[in-house]
Chains A and B, each alone.
Chain A
Amino acid sequence: NAGVMQNPRHLVRRRGQEARLRCSPMKGHSHVYWYRQLPEEGLKFMVYLQKENIIDESGMPKERFSAEFPKEGPSILRIQQVVRGDSAAYFCASSPGGKRETQYFGPGTRLLVL
């Protein structure tokens, strides 16, 4: 049973470009969470999604950031017009439908904005 998969593992973008981060949850998991981690910091919650629904986006910046989890395919975190401050590690986690306390994390995508 493959774990949570994220790609790309590393992404370099210039200021103003778009960044697309993908997350495939563990098989059988229907809940996906996105977190951002700055150097020497803990993880900060961004958004919680179920299939085709955004459940909680209280941690998402109001502008430039969006997330989706379509019926088919991976969850996507999209950052438009990236700025240097967006440079961070972005982690995706998933959990089973009926037991959401424990989350299983992917290896992360490290975004560097030049």
Chain B
Amino acid sequence: SQQGEEDPQALSIQEGENATMNCSYKTSINNLQWYRQNSGRGLVHLILIRSNEREKHSGRLRVTLDTSKKSSSLLITASRAADTASYFCATGSGGSYIPTFGRGTSLIVHP
């Protein structure tokens, strides 16, 4: 069964606006990762956040993790048309290094 579930399924914004995507999961995790997938391409790793971390930044990306609510958010600030892609969260739990992917959020940034 799916571990991570992204919300919303689709998001459409104007260039320059911020985009926030959420991921909820059901069981305890060791880490949570966010990936981007451009149409027809493979996944690109964005950020990994561990269960003992609350927030991480990378350029225009900010990821938060709330283990009490079993949720994470990905914030893209000052979005650009090139940010148009699908964004997936993937959880790692137990002793496994196999991440479990959600269905993704489709983000469209209009120029």
Contact = CB atoms under 8 A, between A and B. Distances in A.
Interface of A: 4, 6, 33, 35, 40-45, 48, 56, 91, 93, 95, 100-108, 110
Contact of A42 (B44, B92, B96, B104): B104
A37 to B, nearest CB: 9
Contacts of A100: 97
Contacts of B90: 43
Nearest to A42: B101
Given A45-B99, A48-B98, A105-B35, 15 more contacts: A35-B101, A41-B103, A42-B4, A42-B102, A43-B88, A48-B97, A56-B96, A95-B97, A101-B33, A102-B48, A103-B45, A104-B45, A106-B42, A108-B41, A108-B42
Given A42-B104, A43-B88, A45-B98, A101 B31 contact: yes
Contacts of B71: none
Nearest to A48: B98
Interface residues of B, number: 24
A9 to B, nearest CB: 9
Contacts of B98: 33, 45, 48, 56
A42 B88 contact: yes
Interface string B41-71: 1111100100000000000000000000000
A56 B98 CA distance: 9
Listed from nearest, the 7 A-B pairs whose CB atoms lie closest are A42-B101, A105-B42, A100-B97, A105-B43, A43-B101, A107-B42, A42-B103
B41 to A, nearest CB: 6
B83 to A, nearest CB: 18
Nearest to B104: A42
Contacts of A56: 96, 98
Contact of B99 (A103, A104, A106, A107): A103
Contacts of B96: 56
